[in-house]
A and B are shown apart, each in its own frame.
Chain A
Amino acid sequence: MILDFNVNGRDYSIEADARARLIDVLREDLGLTGTKEGCGEGECGACTVIIDGLAVNSCLVMAHQTRGKRILTVESLKQDGELDSLQKSFINNGAVQCGYCTPGMLMSCKALLMRNPNPTEHEIREAIEGNLCRCTGYVKIINAVKEVVKESKAPSEEDHHE
């Protein structure tokens, strides 16, 4: 069964099993192994990708359900050799330890910022409520997102407040 979809800006037309999940196709067929599987049941969020602008567990979506859709994986964040501001902030804030939750965590945060460039801490926590991390206690991850938000605010806007 042929699956036509767009992953990270590139159109694909591939043969995929009807029982294959999106994560299987991304990892096995497209070789995009940045997306991780940590539980296979939507509890850990390591497999999070963005489908048409929304964060979704790629372990709980059938590959063929994404026909015609635009998918973004962690591999899409770096553009023309330049890291995404979230990636930079994760590095600068020490938000990465073992790195296994990182791709999913980044994609959840990215989806949040795409829809809401100015989230509160509460909204950040809720955006990653479905992303488990055993290394960091989330503290530095939340700080990293807060920093991106702070830096993305127009300087003039900041000035007005101060």
Chain B
Amino acid sequence: MSNMIMKTPASIDELVMCLKQSDDNTYLLSGGTDLIIKLRNSKIYEGTLIDLTGIDDLKQIKYNAEYIKIGAAATFNQITSNTMLIKHAKCLVQASSQIGSTQIRNAATLGGNIANAFAGADAIPALIALDAMVTILKSDKTTYTKPIDEIIKGSRKNTLYKDEAIIEISIPIANDNCISAFAKLGSRSRVTISKLNIAATAQVKDGTIEAVKIVLGALGTKAFRALSVEKAIENKDISEALYTAFENELVKQVDEAIPNRSSLGYKREAIRGLAEDVYFDLFGSMVRKVKCHD
């Protein structure tokens, strides 16, 4: 028998009560797909687990005129089948459908993925590209909301205090011109940890790219916006030449992100494959695909 306790709040109010008693040995348990491995590998036999999956409110995906609101304990399986998300947050749906296996997607949650802050996480670049906001509940029952990028500090590090819990992720509903895409590269075609991933959102008006966001993951300790890449294609007309600029700028971005890593040699080349995947996924219908390699 371990010296572990599990608390099973059924409502936000009960969760607040649990958070009030949080200490350094308190772990928020959501889908469990990362935490349970950690408890075992790190030989953690003492402490308190707070199970978030019993709170119905946290498992809903709702929307209003401005936001799609994803409960922190909604699973990736729920995300991939949600029609609102398919319409307004394609890159998140694409990323979610490529996370782990069927079994993992049935358990793992968006809130858990954010809190875990893994550098190679697939959902996080998509959320950054979508300007997602994260709502956090404090033990005094108040909440605050921050952009996703500000929650994640680095590899396996987030800004949450012990007595706080992510409860909701809000994705602004952009206009109908907004498009998005996600692509990843791992060691297998499926069930694989990203060596590289990329999420992009853009608005296209009369063949011109506007308001573009390009986010790279699995390069360094946290996903980041590739500003120079965005600059290279923003307010430009979609064309093959632009694709080349996009690709080359991405290579530069990889060079800058991981100058001393042994994986640089591969990643700076392979990013071209992802560049093609994402560019043509986004703008494919607007550009003739004739790129050759011979």
Give chain B's interface secondary structure class: mixed
- In the bound assembly, the distance between CA atoms of A65 and B191 in angstroms comes to 24
Of the candidate stretches A27-35, A126-134, A152-160, the one touching chain B is: A126-134
Which of A55, A67, A130 is in CB contact (< 8 Å) with B191? Answer: A130
Check if A64 is an interface residue, CB within 8 A of chain B: yes
Name the A residues within 8 Å of B100 (CB-CB): 42, 130
Name the B residues within 8 Å of A127 (CB-CB): 102
Check if A21 is an interface residue, CB within 8 A of chain B: yes
- In the bound assembly, the distance between CA atoms of A131 and B32 in angstroms comes to 19
Chain A interfacial residues counted at CB < 8 A: 31
Name the A residues within 8 Å of B51 (CB-CB): 62, 64-65
8 A Cβ contacts from A1-46 to B: 1, 17-19, 21, 40-43, 45
Check if A89 is an interface residue, CB within 8 A of chain B: no
The answer to whether B2 and A130 have CB atoms under 8 Å apart is: no
B51-64 contact mask (Cβ, 8 Å, vs A): 1 or 0 = 10110000000000
Check if B40 is an interface residue, CB within 8 A of chain A: yes
The answer to whether A60 and B32 have CB atoms under 8 Å apart is: yes
- In the bound assembly, the distance between CA atoms of A62 and B103 in angstroms comes to 15
Of listed B37, B101, B103, B190, residue having the most chain A CB within 10 A: B103
- In the bound assembly, the distance between CA atoms of A56 and B100 in angstroms comes to 12
The answer to whether A17 and B1 have CB atoms under 8 Å apart is: yes
Check if B5 is an interface residue, CB within 8 A of chain A: yes
Q: What class of interface size applies to chain B in its complex with A?
A: 20 to 34
A52-91 contact mask (Cβ, 8 Å, vs B): 1 or 0 = 0011110111101101000000000000000000000000
The answer to whether B106 and A54 have CB atoms under 8 Å apart is: yes
Q: How far is the CB of A14 from chain B (nearest CB, A)?
A: 14
Check if A102 is an interface residue, CB within 8 A of chain B: no
- 16 pairs from A and B in contact (CB 8 Å cutoff): A18-B4, A41-B37, A43-B191, A51-B106, A55-B103, A60-B36, A60-B37, A60-B103, A61-B36, A62-B49, A62-B51, A64-B6, A108-B103, A127-B102, A128-B102, A129-B190
Mark B residues whose CB is within 8 Å of A. 1-2, 4-6, 8, 29, 31-33, 36-37, 39-40, 45, 49, 51, 53-54, 77, 100-104, 106-107, 190-191
The 6 closest A-B pairs by CB, nearest first: A130-B101, A18-B6, A19-B2, A18-B4, A54-B106, A19-B4
Beyond A42-B37, A129-B190, 19 additional contacts (C-beta under 8 Å) are A17-B1, A18-B5, A18-B6, A40-B37, A40-B40, A42-B100, A42-B104, A54-B77, A54-B106, A55-B102, A55-B103, A57-B104, A59-B36, A60-B104, A61-B36, A62-B29, A65-B51, A108-B102, A131-B101
